Amino acid sequence: MAAPNEIVPAQLLRLIGLPDAPVIVDLCTDEDFAAGPYLIPGSVRHPFRDVEGLKTRLAGRACILACQKGLKLSQGLAAWLRADGIDAQYLQGGMHGWRALDAAPRVPFGAIPEPVGGATLWVTRHRPKIDRIACPWLIRRFVDRDARFLFVAPSEVEGVAARFGATPFDIEGAFWSHQGDKCSFDTMLGAFGLATPALQRLAKVIRAADTNRHDLAPEAAGLLAISVGLSRQYRDDSRQLDAGLALYDALYRWARDGQGEGHDWPAERKA
């Protein structure tokens, strides 16, 4: 019988990418992590002995703890946190169990930019439309939930990046940008090891809308229309990003398990 505070890898996979997903905490020792420097998408590294620091970091949020094998480190700390009133679960089998799951994505730790002030810091052109909202959504949901984004004049992106240690994206000449006929979103999927079927399906729609190739995906015209509408609705780019996150949350659920659903009137009409 599974323990009441245990979650299996397949269950965790269904939670990753959702806006209300628990905080995933990687507790692997430095030695174990060095042997396999990959993260479960959206997870954070934290030393298992720093219990009070983790409680502060969680700020009362539910969490899922993963160590190398899902044994003493994660089970012990999950029990400790639960005793202190925090909703904590441990991952069955730990990182070994996650790696054994078919198609379970893993983010190369070396691909994540160095944090600035405790979180990754990114900079791009102001007045975002598609890629510059989709990429922050991907980062917040699958790489760094606390990531911060700066929107500045196109001419100032490189200077702001240099002065503040930010990572530029979706500008010409940057690594995190368009490559060939692919979008910045595609680049991030590849570099972060996130090419899951659902995210690839979503990437196709984003690419079609962002590069004016609506023949690639019929949903592209709708995404473009909503994106332009959001940009007209909000003068503040950060507020637009907040609204756009909800849009991509919905698109991700469609891409993951809703793309086969249609709609007609009357409701009983058969396709």
* pLDDT one-digit tens code per residue, 215-236: 999 999 999 999 999 999 999 9
* pLDDT reported for residue 266: 87
What distance in Å separates the CA atoms of residue 190 and residue 91, rounded to the nearest whole number?
Answer: 26
* pLDDT reported for residue 29: 97
Using the 3D structure, point to which of 108, 123, 149 is the last residue of a domain.
108
- HSE at residue 216, side-chain half, CA atoms within 13 A, is 18
What distance in Å separates the CA atoms of residue 116 and residue 26, rounded to the nearest whole number?
Answer: 20
CB 21 within 8 A of CB 42: yes
Is 87 contained in some domain?
yes
CB 24 within 8 A of CB 64: yes
Q: Which domain holds residue 152?
A: 112-257
* pLDDT reported for residue 124: 98
pLDDT under 70 in the chain at which residues? 1-2, 270-271
What distance in Å separates the CA atoms of residue 44 and residue 65, rounded to the nearest whole number?
Answer: 10
Is 128 contained in some domain?
yes
Pair (88, 122) in one structural domain: no
* pLDDT reported for residue 62: 98
pLDDT digits (tens, 9 = 90+) for 84-116: 999 999 999 999 999 999 889 999 999 999 999
* pLDDT reported for residue 103: 85
